[in-house]
Amino acid sequence: MQRRLALALPWLLAAPAARAQWAPDRPVRIVVPTGAGGITDLLARIVAQQLAPRIGQPVVIENRPGASGIIGTEAVVRAKPDGLTLLMVFPSHAANPALKAKLPYDTERELAPISAVSTVATVLLVPKESPDRSAADLIARAKREKLAYASVGAGSLAHLANALFCSMAGIEMIHVPFRSAPEAHAAVMKGEVAMFLDPPITTLPLLQGDKVRAIGVSTASRLAALPEVPTIAESGLPGFEATAWNGLLAPAGTSEQIIARYGTEVQAILADPAVRADFARQGTEPMPTTPTQFAEIIARDIAKWRRVVRDAGITPD
C-alpha cells in the first residue's frame, strides 16, 4: 500500500495545475452498475461525498444495475466524454470479457481509466464444525473426498476465485451456485458445502456471530479487518491470490485535463485518514493508482480471468 501511495505522489503534487486546467460547470454523476447498498455503491458514495466540495459541483450516484454490470457500463460508454459522467466498476468488469460471448462495448478501448479505488478481497469460509483448519487441510480432504463449494451465481468473483483455487491446488470440487449471498451463507453454516469465498463486508457479521470460520483471505497480505486470518498462500496454497478492485473510469475520448483533474482528486480522497477508516469499516482498503497503472491492472486481470475461465471449462454465455 505504501508503494501505491508513493506512485501516486506525483499526481498529488500536480493537483494545483490540474485544477487550473479544468473544472465541471454542472453536477457530475457517477454511474454504479449495481444495486444500492452493496460495497461498490457504498464506496462510490464515500468518494462522491468527498469529491463534491473539491470540484465545486454536486456529485450524484445513479444506480444502473443488471447483466453483471454491463447495463450501467454501456450507459457510460455511450455518454458524452465531457467529464460529467463517470463510472464506478466492480470486479465483474474485468471478468465479463471472458464470461460473455459478446459485449456491447470494448472494455479496454471504450473507457478511460482514472484510478482504481479499492481492493476487493474474498474470505475463505468453512462451516463452524469443519475439520479443516487451513487451506492445506481443505485441499488434502478434497483429494480424498468429493467436496462442494458455493458461489453466488456463475461467473462471479467467488466462482472464478474458487476455480483458480481448485486449478492451483490440483483438485476438483463441485460448484454449487446460489441466487444470493444469504443462501450461500446458509449452505456453509449447515455444512452443505465445504467452502465459500465471500467478500469481507458480508463475512464480518457471520464471523462476529460465530456462525462460520475463516481459514484464509485471497489477498497477497492479510486484511486490516481480519488481521488474525492468514492469507490463503500462508494457509496452504503458495502463490494464490485472487483479488479484484473497484475503480473509476470515464467514457473514452475524455480529455487528459479532465482525467488529470479527477485523478488528483481521487488520490487525495484516498489518502484522507477518515476515508481510509470508512473503507476499513467496509472490509476493504484504498487502492490509489495513476490512469496508466489502472489501465495495466485492467488488462492484466482480463487476461488472468480469461485463463481461469478457459482452464475451468466455463462456457461464455
Residue 121: name the closest of 161, 175, 148, 165 by CA: 161
- Whole-Å CA distances, 110 to 73, 232, 295: 10, 35, 12
Span 8-14, mean pLDDT?
52
Do 129 and 208 lie in one domain? The reply is: yes
Of residues 161 and 8, which shows the higher confidence score? 161
How confident is the model over 130-152, as pLDDT tens digits?
Answer: 999 999 999 999 999 999 999 88
In angstroms, rounded to a whole number, what is the distance separating the alpha carbons of residues 85 and 87? Answer: 7
Partners of residue 112 on adjacent β-strands: 250
Residue 201 contacts by C-beta under 8 Å, 6 or more apart in sequence? 39, 42, 282, 283, 284
Do 116 and 247 lie in one domain? The reply is: yes
Residue 114: name the closest of 8, 27, 35, 36 by CA: 8
Q: Is the pLDDT of residue 1 over 70?
A: no
Residue 313: how many other CB atoms lie within 10 Å: 7
Final residue in a domain of this structure, among 205, 235, 265:
235
How confident is the model over 65-87, as pLDDT tens digits?
Answer: 988 899 999 999 999 999 999 99
Residue 306 contacts by C-beta under 8 Å, 6 or more apart in sequence? 97, 98
Q: What's the residue count for the chain?
A: 317
What is the rounded radius of gyration, in angstroms, for the C-alpha atoms of the chain?
20
Do 76 and 33 lie in one domain? The reply is: yes
What value, to the nearest 5°, has the Cα angle with vertex 156 and ends 217 and 60? 95
> How many domains are there within the chain?
2
Please tell me the pTM assigned to this model.
0.81
Span 155-159, mean pLDDT?
75
CATH of the domain at 265: 3.40.190.150
Residue 280 lies in a domain: yes
Do 65 and 133 lie in one domain? The reply is: no
Do 135 and 88 lie in one domain? The reply is: no
Do 107 and 250 lie in one domain? The reply is: yes
30-34, 233-237, 310-314: segment of lowest average pLDDT = 310-314
Of residues 53 and 203, which shows the higher confidence score? 53
Do 148 and 43 lie in one domain? The reply is: no
In angstroms, rounded to a whole number, what is the distance separating the alpha carbons of residues 274 and 291? Answer: 24
Report the pLDDT value the prediction gives residue 116, as an integer from 0 to 100.
97
Report the pLDDT value the prediction gives residue 18, as an integer from 0 to 100.
41
Residue 255 lies in a domain: yes
10-24, 98-112, 161-175, 252-266: segment of lowest average pLDDT = 10-24
Do 134 and 149 lie in one domain? The reply is: yes
Amino acid in position 172: E
Report the pLDDT value the prediction gives residue 19, as an integer from 0 to 100.
42
Final residue in a domain of this structure, among 185, 211, 235:
235
Do 109 and 9 lie in one domain? The reply is: yes
Do 115 and 196 lie in one domain? The reply is: no
Amino acid in position 103: L
- Residue 192 is part of which domain span? 123-235
Report the pLDDT value the prediction gives residue 2, as an integer from 0 to 100.
47
Final residue in a domain of this structure, among 190, 212, 235:
235
Residue with grid cell 469481507, as numbered in its chain: 200
Do 211 and 111 lie in one domain? The reply is: no
Of residues 79 and 18, which shows the higher confidence score? 79
Report the pLDDT value the prediction gives residue 17, as an integer from 0 to 100.
47
Span 265-284, mean pLDDT?
91
Do 128 and 111 lie in one domain? The reply is: no
Residue 317 lies in a domain: no
For residue 10, what pLDDT band results from cuts at 50, 70 and 90? low
3-state SS, residue 244: strand
Span 178-197, mean pLDDT?
92
Q: Is the pLDDT of residue 7 over 90?
A: no
CATH of the domain at 221: 3.40.190.10
Span 276-284, mean pLDDT?
86
In angstroms, rounded to a whole number, what is the distance separating the alpha carbons of residues 123 and 125? Answer: 6
